[in-house]
Amino acid sequence: MRVQLGPIARARGVRLLSLDEIDSTNDEARRLIETGERGPLWIVAARQTKGRGRLGREWISRPGNFYASFVFGEFSEVRVAPELGFVTGVAAMRALRALAGQGAFQLKWPNDLLLEGAKLGGILLECMNASTAPVAIIGVGVNLVDAPKDTPYPARALCEALSAPSREAFFAHFSDAMAEALELWNGGAGFAQIRQEWLASAAGLGQDITVVLSHEKLEGRFETIDASGRLVLETTDSRRTIEAGDVLIGPRATGGALA
């Protein structure tokens, strides 16, 4: 059975391209943008042969899980594009809780979905400068029925919190939640509200965490995210504002995010 958009997404004019197999939904989105696509368009695939996460890392595409990319060009400034990762995280939390109750779902800065502290999914945000205005590609992967075992970080699947979750049910909720979150975001004008909702689900907030950067590792207290989504870390001798990095939370953390 192929996925279908939820009624709210359809009413907002969102479109859907449902595929059995593709190399990468983000790569397909990029190809479509190069031919003039600006969205809003969901590209959902049952299987990816070359799925990838952040920093070019491999995204393991196991059967039955959720793989999709959202093409969105309804914003005018590149500077607000990073906010769409937080919009997507908020939408994912709404969809997961609609399906499985409040549960132990959290968001790990900047782009991971967690279930009881283990990785449930990830978000990969890219932005292309089209001929007239920027277009965002938001890749989303969620472990619905199977989680990889051979990874340096703990991972879980939604089936551990909800019996027999399906791509169809998850996507119907998620596409609607995304449409509503984007309306709230309103091209960046509503990011303050998105930020507050994101923080309400933030893993490690107020706790000591480790942030791995390209050339250093920082330890400190996760104070908040600022008005543009950057992580604010209180270390022993300074207050650091971090634009990108891998966050490690708790004693079991041994590696960074993969998507």
pLDDT at 259: 34
Tokens 């543009």 label which residue?
228
Distance CA 38, CA 80 (A): 16
Q: Is the pTM of this model over 0.85?
A: yes
Task: With beta carbons less than 8 A apart as the criterion, state whether 141 and 105 touch.
Answer: no
CA torsion 6→9→15→17, rounded to 10°? -40
Model confidence over 54-112: pLDDT tens digits?
Answer: 545 555 667 789 999 999 999 988 999 999 999 999 999 999 999 998 779 999 999 99
Q: How is the chain split into domains, by residue range? A: 7-200, 208-248
pLDDT at 181 over 60: yes
Predicted confidence band at 200 (pLDDT cuts at 50, 70, 90)? very high
Q: Which region among 14-18, 23-27, 195-199 has the lowest average model confidence (pLDDT)?
A: 23-27
Kindly state the percentage of the chain with pLDDT values over 90. Answer: 77
How far apart, in whole angstroms, are the C-alpha atoms of residue 10 and residue 139?
A: 20
E-strand ranges in 143-201 read: none
Give yes or no for residue 242 having a pLDDT over 70.
yes
- For the ranges 219-228, 230-239, 247-256, which has the lowest average pLDDT? 247-256
> Contact at 8 Å (CB) between 235 and 242?
no
Least confident of 7-11, 90-94, 203-207, 250-254: 250-254
Q: Which CATH code fits 7-200?
A: 3.30.930.10
**pLDDT confidence bin for 51, thresholds 50/70/90:** low
Average pLDDT over residues 20-35: 94
Residue 173, φ and ψ in degrees, nearest 5: -70, -45
Q: Give CATH for domain 208-248.
A: 2.30.30
Q: What does the pLDDT average to over 193-203?
A: 98
156 has pLDDT over 60? yes
pLDDT of residue 255: 36
User: What does the pLDDT average to over 184-200?
Assistant: 97
> How far apart (Å, rounded) are the C-alpha atoms in residues 123 and 66?
12
pLDDT tops 70 at residue 141:
yes
pLDDT of residue 149: 82
Averaged pLDDT, 144-159: 87
Beta bridge partners of residue 219, listed in sequence order: 210
Cis peptide before 82 (omega within 30 of 0): no
